Amino acid sequence: MLKGFTTILIKELKELMRDPKILIGMIVLPLLMFPVLGLVLGYAAENAQSEALNATLLVVDNDNSLWSNTFVNYLSNSRNVILVNNTAPQQVVNQGLLTQYGSAMFLVIPQGFGENLTQHTAGAYNITGTVDMYGIYNGGGGIFSGLGGYSVAGLVEGFNRQIAPNLVASSQSSIIKGQIQEGVDASILSGLMLSQSIALPVTVMIMLTYAMQIAATSVAMEKEEKTLETLLTVPVDRFAILMGKVSSTIIVAGVAAVTVLIGYNYMLGSMMMGLTGSLGAGVDLVSLGLVPSTFGYVLLGVSLFFTLLSALALAVVMSAFSENVRGAQALVGYIYPLIFLPAMALVYLDLNSLPLALRTVFYAIPYSQPIIASQAVITGDYFTVIFGIVYVAIFTVVIMYVASRLFATEKILTAKLMLGRKRNKKQQSE
């Protein structure tokens, strides 16, 4: 056993635990962050399940037989069914029947359905009836987006268990930007596309946390080593000092944004090649808008740039209120929940399905904008991306103004975030 190890260990632990910035940033915030994330995900799962069970199912009966009526009646016992007769699948989409009846998918009973079931029950077990399910693919949807399709498929299996095994089979197709893609399951497509939506949030989390730590350490180190006082006494405009520090962060932000964008583009291209092969060579994902356009990549890069720039500027401002490097890193840790919560939540959630208040919270967090943008550029929703860029740019300007006012006075040298230090000092003096 090392001599004195226990004494030094206890001493260091006491010093760390006495610093409220470290206590709050490393212990209290994670204890609050993950329960909040769990509540949000739990609400999303419950809401998606409720919507799947209570949603209107549009059924198109093109067979009009006794068997088709029996099947529709069975579906009506479990779901709110709207029946339409003798309509082609593309006509359902073109006529806006899904929007009219508030449904996200429809089921088609084709001609010959009743005849096939009659032959099956007569002993021709190799002949089965088939129903075609068509679901809307919206480019996002979150991890719970496939519950609707799975619930309808479960109803088909329930009908088989009630009448005869393997009596009715189901096929899945997708509605992508108003066009039906036969044989492309919207639920599977959403799940596969979810894999690419995980990479960018994780990258943004890592990039922002490391960049903010570096920016905060830069200012805090100069304060700790007293070199900032010397720098402020030289005959140089203080705003020029601030701009020099910020310009370096701009260069870092630009390089990081381009680097992330190149890696994201390569990853997305590789995934799309495998996805196209698994879903069928006839599916052109580029023409369907499932791959960002050049303009979409540009907007995504700009969104990443401004988000990183705002994070770096905020880190510089917060580090001015610390006495040393350890304090600066602890202060920056307070911002991490605003980075981690959107990044992890938006991977699993469909933002459009959330209540307005919760949706507003996610939009108001600047660090959620690149994640929202990565989903929006796939569907061509450029307005959302541009709005996020403008919002983050305004947020960055405000932070820069605060930083300029801070550097213009002596507060840059004397500003400290006490967090209970006054009370402790008062108790020690008594």
Q: What pLDDT shows up at residue 142?
A: 55
Residue 277 has pLDDT above 60, yes or no: no
CA distance 418 to 428: 15
Instruction: Look at 205-209, 217-221, 283-287 and tell me which has the smallest mean pLDDT.
Output: 283-287
pLDDT at residue number 375 = 78
- When pLDDT is cut at 50, 70 and 90, the band that residue 319 belongs to is confident
Domain match, 73 and 200 both: no
DSSP-H helix ranges across 55-175: 66-76, 89-94, 97-101, 113-121, 147-163
239 with 178, same domain?
A: no
State whether 422 and 375 are in the same domain.
Answer: yes
Residue 331 lies inside a defined structural domain of this protein: yes
> Is-contact 219 328, C-beta < 8 A?
yes
83 found inside a domain: yes
Calpha distance 388→395 (Å, rounded): 10
pLDDT in tens, 127-167: 888 888 888 776 655 555 555 556 777 888 888 888 888 88
Same domain, 251 and 143: no
Whether residues 87 and 174 fall in one domain: yes
Residues 247 and 306 in one domain: yes
**Beta pairing, strands 56-61 & 105-109:** parallel
Residue 20, in any domain of the structure: no
Distance CA 126, CA 4 (A): 81
Q: Is residue 36 part of a domain?
A: no
Highest mean pLDDT among 112-121, 172-181, 289-298 belongs to 112-121
Q: Of 253 and 362, which is predicted with more confidence?
A: 362
Look over the chain and give the mean of its residue pLDDT values, rounded to a whole number. Answer: 76
Q: Report the pLDDT value the prediction gives residue 428, as an integer from 0 to 100.
A: 45
Average pLDDT for 346-351: 73
Residue 386 has pLDDT above 90, yes or no: yes
Question: Which of 184, 206, 234 finishes a domain?
Answer: 184
Report the pLDDT value the prediction gives residue 424, as an integer from 0 to 100: 47
216 shares a domain with 163: no
Q: What is the mean pLDDT of residues 233-247?
A: 73
> What is the rounded average pLDDT of the residues 275-301?
64
Nearest to 399 by CA among 246, 257, 238, 222: 246
Angstrom distance (rounded) from CA 382 to CA 388: 10
Whether the CB-CB separation of 131 and 152 falls below 8 Å is answered with: no
**209 and 177 in one domain?**
no
Task: Look at residue 15 and tell me if it is in a domain.
Answer: no
How far is it, in rounded angstroms, from Cα 141 to Cα 192? 12
310 and 394 within one domain: yes
- Shared domain check, 311 and 255: yes
Instruction: Write down the pLDDT at residue 109.
Output: 92
The residue among 301, 310, 300 whose CA lies nearest residue 381 is 300
Consecutive H or E run containing 39: helix 29-54
> Predicted confidence band at 423 (pLDDT cuts at 50, 70, 90)?
very low
Please tell me the predicted confidence (pLDDT) of residue 241: 73
Q: Any idea which of 120-124, 281-285, 287-291, 300-304 has the lowest mean pLDDT?
A: 281-285
Give me the DSSP letters along 339-382.
Answer: HHHHHHHHHH--GGGS-HHHHHHHHHSGGGHHHHHHHHHHHT-H
Q: Left, alpha or beta for 108 (phi > 0: left; psi -120 to 50: alpha)?
A: beta
CA distance 284 to 291: 10
Q: How many domains does the chain have?
A: 2
Predicted confidence (pLDDT) at residue 280 exceeds the cutoff of 50: no
- Residue after which a domain boundary falls, among 131, 158, 184: 184
Per-residue pLDDT at 69: 92
Q: Give the pLDDT of residue 389.
A: 93
- 247 and 137: one domain? no
Name beta bridge partners: 136: 175
The residues, any chain, with a CB within 8 Å of residue 262's CB and separated by 6 or more, are: none
Q: Taking 90 as the threshold, does the pLDDT of residue 387 lie above it? A: yes
Are 302 and 174 contained in the same domain? no
Q: Check residue 422 and give its pLDDT.
A: 46
Cα 291 from Cα 272, distance rounded (Å): 8
User: Is residue 7 in some structural domain?
Assistant: no
pLDDT the model gives residue 390: 93
At residue 261 the predicted structure's pLDDT band, cuts being 50, 70 and 90, is: low
pLDDT band for 62, please (50, 70, 90 cuts): very high
> What percentage of the chain reaches a pLDDT higher than 70?
73
- The answer as to whether 9 is a domain residue is no
Domain annotation covers residue 363: yes
Which domain covers residue 359, as residue numbers? 192-429
Q: What is the share, in percent, of the chain residues with pLDDT greater than 90?
A: 7
423 CB neighbour count, 10 Å cutoff: 10
Q: Which two tokens stand for residue 74?
A: 């069975």
CA gyration radius, the chain: 29
Query: What's the pLDDT at 265?
Result: 64
Rounded CA separation 376/370 (Å) = 10
> Domain boundary residue among 137, 155, 184?
184
Q: How large is the average pLDDT for residues 42-67?
A: 78
Decide if pLDDT at 247 tops 60.
Answer: yes
SS3 content of the chain, % helix, strand, coil (to 5): 70, 10, 20
> Phi/psi zone of residue 259: left (φ > 0), alpha (ψ -120 to 50 degrees), beta?
alpha
Residue 170, domain CATH: 3.40.1710.10
Q: Mean pLDDT throughout 372-390?
A: 85
